């Protein structure tokens, strides 16, 4: 049986289609049989610690300040912070320092404040005495005459020359000395909680001793008195009206 031309054309198309399918399957099988290569990539992370001084944590920490009496206090807010290097510059510029309660001329402990974003931080400023130098000195044992006055300057009772700073810190105590009663009395000077002791002797004035010079002077005085009396008598005689 002879096939018609149209049927032959259809058969040719079907066969061509299957050929393409079979060829495609072979290519797929070849690709499937290829070895799959796996590449492994590793990621290395280097850890580096940031110094605390560089980490801006903005935590405000105040410190207690100690100053010497009569010395001025700083107006720089950073001087009152324990960690200014950890606070951002913009934050530092917004901090408000208040030291109005501090009296630098009187010993004591005072509070100061720093404000930031309506929050108040409080710490202390301690005003203390100036540290005096360590010195040693000796007191004089003195003699004065009954009724004489005593100096109130400690410098007059000390053998050594002391600075004004030390002299102003001395406390002289003459309360046990009676200047109008003869005798020997104790006096003290105190410096930095150390008390030094010495004595003052009150002596009665001695009797007047008449010597040759004194007798000569008395003779002249007697002659002068006699002359004055004679002149007075002469003057009286020459005035009959009196």
* Residue 151 CB partners (closer than 8 Å, separation 6+): 157
Residue 203: pLDDT band (50, 70, 90) is: very high
Which pair of structure tokens corresponds to residue 7?
Answer: 């049927």
Check whether 116 has a pLDDT greater than 80.
yes
Residue 120: pLDDT band (50, 70, 90) is: very high
Residue 51: pLDDT band (50, 70, 90) is: low
Query: What is the pLDDT at residue 22?
Result: 64
Query: What is the pLDDT at residue 17?
Result: 75
Check whether 83 has a pLDDT greater than 80.
yes
Check whether 90 has a pLDDT greater than 60.
yes
Query: What is the pLDDT at residue 154?
Result: 96
Are domains 53-128 and 142-203 of this chain identical in fold?
Answer: yes
Check whether 56 has a pLDDT greater than 80.
no
- Counting beta carbons within 10 angstroms of the beta carbon of residue 127, is it exposed (0 to 12), middle (13 to 18) or buried (19 or more)? buried
Check whether 159 has a pLDDT greater than 50.
yes
Return the CATH class of domain 53-128: mainly beta
* Residue 190 CB partners (closer than 8 Å, separation 6+): 170, 171, 173, 196
The CATH number corresponding to 142-203 among 2.30.40.10, 3.90.950.20, 1.10.287.70, 2.60.40.10 equals 2.60.40.10
Check whether 8 has a pLDDT greater than 50.
yes
Check whether 194 has a pLDDT greater than 50.
yes
Q: pLDDT exceeding 90 applies to what percent of the chain?
A: 57
Q: Which residue has the higher pLDDT, 39 or 175?
A: 175
- For the chain, give every domain's residue range: 53-128, 142-203
pTM for this prediction? 0.46
The whole-number average pLDDT for the span 32-48 is 58
Tell me the average pLDDT of the chain: 80
Q: pLDDT exceeding 70 applies to what percent of the chain?
A: 67
CA atoms of 238 and 232, how far apart (whole Å): 10
For tokens 């050594």, the residue is: 160
Express each pLDDT in 213-230 by its tens digit: 554 554 455 554 454 444
Q: Which residue has the higher pLDDT, 5 or 149?
A: 149
End-to-end Cα distance, the chain: 213
């Amino acid at each position: 049986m002879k096939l018609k031309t149209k049927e032959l054309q259809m058969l040719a198309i079907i066969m061509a289609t299957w050929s393409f399918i079979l060829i495609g399957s072979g290519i797929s099988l070849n690709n499937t049989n290829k070895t799959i290569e796996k590449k492994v990539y590793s990621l290395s992370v280097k850890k580096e610690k940031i110094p605390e001084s560089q980490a801006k944590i903005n935590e405000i920490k105040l410190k207690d300040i100690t100053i010497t009496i009569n010395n001025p206090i700083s107006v720089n807010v950073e001087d009152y912070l324990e960690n200014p290097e950890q606070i951002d510059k913009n934050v530092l510029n917004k901090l408000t320092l208040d030291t109005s309660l501090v009296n630098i001329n009187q010993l004591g402990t005072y509070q100061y404040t720093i404000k930031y974003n309506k929050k108040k931080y409080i710490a202390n400023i301690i005003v203390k005495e100036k540290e005096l130098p360590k010195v040693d000195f000796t007191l004089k044992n003195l003699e004065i005459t009954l009724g004489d006055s005593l100096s109130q300057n400690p410098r007059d009772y000390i053998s050594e020359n002391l600075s004004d700073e030390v002299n102003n810190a001395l406390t002289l105590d003459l309360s046990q000395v009676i200047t109008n009663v003869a005798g020997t009395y104790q006096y003290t000077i105190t410096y930095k909680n150390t008390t030094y002791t010495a004595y003052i002797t009150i002596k009665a004035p001695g009797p007047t001793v008449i010597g040759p010079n004194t007798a000569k002077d008395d003779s002249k005085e007697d002659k002068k008195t006699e002359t004055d009396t004679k002149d007075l008598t002469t003057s009286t005689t020459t005035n009959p009206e009196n």
